[in-house]
């Protein structure tokens, strides 16, 4: 028996001339994407590396299609727009899964000129605040953000309930597992990357052993060696570096421009651990959502392809996320999702059981 999160009747009215067109989505809302090609690449296959013979990465990372991945993790400026759209409204109108207090660490602080309802934030005055990564986002927060993007950044709370993910499936089971749908919906334009997509975008190099001779790097900087931790201009990553005052959390994304994945992704090392769609065992028999990547300031030695962590989709920790995107088919003229108008009929005033 599990507690089912909102029981909501969602009907999608598919209509011609949708407010979301491929032209609008093509703008990508300021997200800088890189294209990850080489479809049908070989899976990761280095089983004998000394410390991790049973790594979950073994046999994974093959992707049979071309996709896109955000060059940067989701930035403070990007998440600030989302947060200020929904945290300043009556909480009863929102899904209960949206974390109540907002991010734990980012480049924004409370807006002292705002007096309710709810909360609002504004960028802080430190240089580069708009580009600081967002720490303290649950998997469900990130999935709601994806729904919002797929619905054209609508201010209607209904835009959070369907798009990349169907919120009506979300819930927590008595054993600590969850009932959430395991993958994004067919036709979603923006979504959280699959584990294989994230692995490939961070570690697979289509020219590792020469032009057209692909292979895998063990670390996220196009190398088999750990990047050097240190502040920008000195080190190669914020992972493993701390100044003792939390300065590692103040480093803007893109501050290590020479530390790139083979596809051109930045901050796959350092920044925040990034949520993926993958469900995998956490502590015990229940499943959690998997993260890939390393966090600024943590101890050295956990930055390789073999490091994978799973935890509850409602846990915020100091986690962040990076957006993946489908490549539209040629001639696509509308939203494949058929999002159109979302009509919500609540069985109760509040989202309930």
DSSP 3-state of 19: coil
Task: Give the DSSP letter string of 73-124.
Answer: PPBHHHHHHHHHHHTTS-GGGS-TTS-TT--SBSSEEE-TT---SS--EEE-
Report the pLDDT value the prediction gives residue 48, as an integer from 0 to 100.
Answer: 62
Confidence (pTM): 0.86
Report the pLDDT value the prediction gives residue 47, as an integer from 0 to 100.
Answer: 66
Average pLDDT over residues 102-113: 94
Average pLDDT over residues 23-41: 84
Query: What is the extent of the structural domain holding 246?
Result: 1-353
Strand partners, 288: 280
pLDDT, tens digit (0-9, with 9 covering 90-100), for 244-283: 999 999 999 999 999 999 999 999 999 999 999 998 887 6
pLDDT, tens digit (0-9, with 9 covering 90-100), for 184-196: 999 999 999 999 9
Helix 139-150 with 76-86: angle, nearest 10 deg: 80
pLDDT, tens digit (0-9, with 9 covering 90-100), for 294-349: 889 976 545 788 777 888 999 999 999 999 999 876 554 344 344 433 333 332 33
Q: Residues 272, 320: contact at Cβ < 8 Å? A: yes
| Average pLDDT of the chain, as a whole number | 83
Report the pLDDT value the prediction gives residue 53, as an integer from 0 to 100.
Answer: 62
Domain count of the chain? Answer: 1
Percent of the chain with pLDDT over 70: 81
């Amino acid at each position: 028996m599990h507690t089912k999160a909102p029981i909501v009747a969602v009907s999608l009215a598919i209509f011609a001339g949708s407010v979301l067109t491929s032209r609008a989505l093509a703008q990508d809302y300021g997200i800088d994407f890189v294209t990850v090609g080489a479809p049908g690449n070989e899976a990761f296959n280095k089983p004998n590396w000394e410390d991790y013979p049973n790594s979950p990465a073994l046999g994974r990372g093959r992707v049979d299609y071309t996709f896109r991945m955000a060059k940067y993790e989701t930035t403070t400026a990007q998440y600030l727009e989302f947060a200020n759209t929904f945290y300043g409204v009556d909480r009863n109108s929102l899904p209960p899964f949206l974390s109540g207090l907002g991010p734990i660490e980012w480049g924004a602080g409370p807006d002292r000129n705002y007096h309710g309802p709810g909360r609002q934030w504004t960028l802080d005055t430190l240089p580069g605040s708009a580009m600081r990564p967002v720490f303290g986002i649950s998997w469900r927060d990130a999935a709601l953000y994806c729904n919002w993007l797929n619905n054209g950044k609508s201010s209607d709370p209904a835009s959070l309930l369907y798009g990349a993910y169907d919120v009506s499936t979300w819930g927590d089971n008595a054993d600590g597992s969850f009932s959430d749908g395991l993958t994004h919906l067919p036709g979603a334009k923006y979504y959280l990357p699959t584990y294989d997509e994230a692995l490939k975008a961070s570690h697979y190099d289509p020219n590792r052993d020469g032009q057209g001779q692909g292979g895998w790097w063990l670390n996220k900087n196009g190398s088999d060696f750990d990047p050097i931790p240190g502040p920008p201009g000195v080190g190669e990553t914020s992972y493993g570096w701390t100044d003792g005052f939390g300065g590692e959390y103040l480093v803007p994304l893109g501050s290590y421009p020479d530390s790139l994945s083979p596809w051109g992704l930045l901050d796959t090392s350092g920044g925040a651990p990034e949520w993926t769609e993958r469900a995998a065992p956490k502590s015990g028999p229940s499943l959690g959502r998997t993260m890939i990547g390393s966090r600024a300031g943590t101890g050295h030695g956990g930055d390789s392809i073999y490091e994978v962590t799973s935890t509850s989709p409602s846990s915020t920790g100091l986690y962040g996320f990076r957006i993946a995107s489908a490549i539209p088919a040629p001639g696509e003229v509308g939203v494949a999702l058929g999002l159109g108008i979302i009509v919500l009929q609540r069985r109760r005033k509040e989202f309930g059981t």
